[in-house]
Amino acid sequence: MNDLLEAVPVLDIAIPVFNEERVLEQSVRVLHAHVHAVIPFATRITIVDNASEDATRLIGKQLAAELDGVRLLHLAEKGRGRAIRTAWTASDARVLAYMDVDLSTSLGTLGALIAPLLSGSSDISIGSRLTRGARVTRSAKRELISRGYNLLLRSVLHTRFRDAQCGFKAIRAEVARELLPAVRDQGWFFDTELLVFAQRGGLRIHEVPVEWVEDPDSRVNIPRTVITDLRGVLRMVQHPQPGGTTLRGQNIRPQEVR
């Protein structure tokens, strides 16, 4: 299996991190062991450090040196969207994925996430906590916020996918190359913007029900994230994207990334 991990990867899994010295090593080791045991083809794990101020970068370097198929990318600026964009753009894999470092989503769903992309039956695959079959353990507050946000997306942006924010997604590499230039956000709204443009472009989005357990030590600033997301939704309502990059017969204009 080591030879598979050292080969040109079929799958590249990005893990964006900022000040995650507490969980990074354990999570990467768990994911690495799962890849060895379950995934039957070459897979890379890409740790993307977003300007961490603790020992995250050092731990990432140690993991990359010790474990086959693990690499570290370091960015001088923060932003989950920036981290995912950088990892996906720099990858030579056929299928690109990302997951949150806390591994809140059960890794048992990884095979189901990537299967429709490898078969060519879908273009993007997303974990969903809000579809039938999902099993979710989280606070009532976060459940309410999540359901309210996705209801807002369906009402205002006419989305058809159920869960925009689950940190468990994958995309075919050629689709990412087409789609990423249109995505402007560099932070938490990146996921929503990516999926909205994908839907507008006629891309096939596959939702996988997941088992998801809330991390009680999550570093997500909920009030700030909510405000940022609402601003992103307002921007997409006020400035639709006519003209430009063509996806499945639809037009999306690439915006300047900031």
Question: What distances in angstroms separate CA 133 from CA 100, 109, 130, 161, 252, one per listed residue?
Answer: 21, 12, 9, 15, 33
Token pair recorded at residue 34: 């799962």
Q: State the Rg of the chain over Cα.
A: 17
CA-angle at 15, arms to 55 and 190, nearest 5°: 115
Residues 119 and 151: beta-carbon distance below 8 Å? no
CA-angle at 182, arms to 179 and 183, nearest 5°: 95
Determine if residue 249 is left, alpha or beta; phi over 0 gives left, psi from -120 to 50 gives alpha, anything else beta. left
191 is catalytic: yes
Q: How many Å apart are CA 152 and CA 20, to the nearest integer?
A: 31
12, 123, 185, 191: the catalytic one is 191
Backbone phi, psi, residue 205, to 5°: -110, 120
Q: How many Å apart are CA 141 and CA 68, to the nearest integer?
A: 40
Token pair recorded at residue 13: 């899994």
Partners of residue 56 on adjacent β-strands: none
Token pair recorded at residue 232: 């992103």
Catalytic residues: 191
